[in-house]
Amino acid sequence: MFEGFEVLRNAPMREYTTLRLGGPADWLAFPRNRGEIDALIREAGSAGMPVTVIGHGSNLLVLDGGIRGLVIRVEKNMREIRIEGNRLTAEAGAMLISAAQAAAAAGLSGLEFAGGIPGTVGGGVTMNAGAYGGEIAQVIAWAECLRQDGTVIRLDREALGLGYRHSAVMDQGLIVTEAAFDLIPGKEEEIRLTMAELNARRAEKQPLDLPSAGSTFKRPEGAFAAALIDQCGLKGYSVGGARVSEKHAGFLINTGDSSEDFLTLMRQVQRIVAERAGILLEPEIRIVGEENA
């Protein structure tokens, strides 16, 4: 199967997620271009295999039973970034951090907010990633996407339907292959300074030295997930190796090897916050795979 493609069989997903959790993917592919993604989907389709598309795995909880079928990781082999005038175009596998740095080097402002988000452009568009008042929706011009039937569409900002950690890419099961961002000229030094300041704030507030998928829950209307979790006295609360970070209560971290523990911790935090604060926290992280190892 998958002759001529870069693929792994029974690939442990803990090696491909920042949470360092997850059982094996039956097949894990690293496509080099849009044509390969299309061909991989067709081959999986003919074999009756389900397909899951991921980026860097920085917003993912893969369950202990792993992922059946084919996982397509749009990441290390699709990282080209081009700049023409005020427009930066990147393949979906380029890291947001690299895109932000390339923009800075070209004296283009607008992607500073993304300079510390450890995911890909494809994952960033899908999630409408954002931080410190910026988000993908503010700068994106278009995203080129592949439909499961192999047709290619280019969605402009409006058609992408970007909302808080939400997009049409998710709703329609599209695969982002490339995206373009409209930026504005700025001074390289100032852009780099802003990025350095934001990264310093991140390092001060977030447990960047421990495996996590960033903020586990979305920000509920009129409140902050981290503050609610903290007010419920849950900092440091743990289930096995999964723990609410003492540094930032919005980050659930993993120091063990069980997705089940992590999921149980998530559910317990949700239950306790709902009982004590009357607010149901909704996961921001995407949960994929099968529960039983």
Ligand X SMILES: Cc1cc2nc3c(=O)[nH]c(=O)nc-3n(C[C@H](O)[C@H](O)[C@H](O)COP(=O)(O)OP(=O)(O)OC[C@H]3O[C@@H](n4cnc5c(N)ncnc54)[C@H](O)[C@@H]3O)c2cc1C
Q: Would you name the residues annotated as active-site residues?
A: 165, 215, 284
Q: Per-residue contact track with ligand X, 51 to 90, x per CB under 6 A?
A: --xxxxxxxx-------------x----------------
Q: Which stretch binds ligand X (CB under 6 A): 99-107, 155-163, 209-217, 232-240?
A: 209-217
Contact of 169 with 157, CB cutoff 8 Å: no
* Length of the chain as a residue count: 293
User: 88-127: which residues touch ligand X (CB under 6 A)?
Assistant: 92, 117-120, 122-124, 126-127
Strand ranges inside 98-248, DSSP E: 108-109, 130-131, 134-135, 140-146, 152-156, 175-182, 184-185, 212-215, 238-239, 242-244
As measured in angstroms, the least distance from the Cβ of 276 to ligand X is 26
Residue with tokens 């991921």: 54
Separation of alpha carbons 23 and 166, rounded Å: 26
Buried b / exposed e along 29-63 (16+ C-beta atoms within 10 A): bbbeebebbbbbbebbeeeebebbbbbbbbbbbbb
**Choice between 189 and 291, CB closer to ligand X:** 291
As measured in angstroms, the least distance from the Cβ of 119 to ligand X is 2
Instruction: Provide the Cα torsion 267, 268, 273, 274; round to 10°.
Output: 60
**Choice between 209 and 275, CB closer to ligand X:** 209
Q: Does 11 bind ligand X (CB under 6 A)?
A: no
Strand ranges inside 216-288, DSSP E: 238-239, 242-244, 251-254, 286-288
How many residues of this chain interact with ligand X, rule: CB under 6 A?
Answer: 32
User: 169-188: which residues touch ligand X (CB under 6 A)?
Assistant: 169, 175-176
As measured in angstroms, the least distance from the Cβ of 91 to ligand X is 9
As measured in angstroms, the least distance from the Cβ of 112 to ligand X is 12
**Choice between 208 and 277, CB closer to ligand X:** 208
As measured in angstroms, the least distance from the Cβ of 275 to ligand X is 27
> Residue 146 has what DSSP assignment?
E
**Choice between 117 and 234, CB closer to ligand X:** 117
Q: Using the rule CB under 6 A, which residue among 129, 234, 242, 269 binds ligand X?
A: 129
> Residue 60 has what DSSP assignment?
E
Interacting residues of 95 by C-beta distance below 8 A, sequence separation 6+: 56, 79, 118, 119, 120, 121
User: 222-281: which residues touch ligand X (CB under 6 A)?
Assistant: none
Sign of the C-alpha dihedral computed for residues 233, 234, 235 and 237 taken in this order: positive
**Choice between 107 and 241, CB closer to ligand X:** 241
User: 26-55: which residues touch ligand X (CB under 6 A)?
Assistant: 53-55
Contact of 94 with 78, CB cutoff 8 Å: yes
**Choice between 172 and 233, CB closer to ligand X:** 172
Interacting residues of 6 by C-beta distance below 8 A, sequence separation 6+: 29, 30, 31, 32, 77
As measured in angstroms, the least distance from the Cβ of 270 to ligand X is 19
Interacting residue ranges for ligand X, rule: CB under 6 A: 18, 53-60, 74, 92, 117-120, 122-124, 126-127, 129-131, 169, 175-176, 206, 208, 212-214, 286
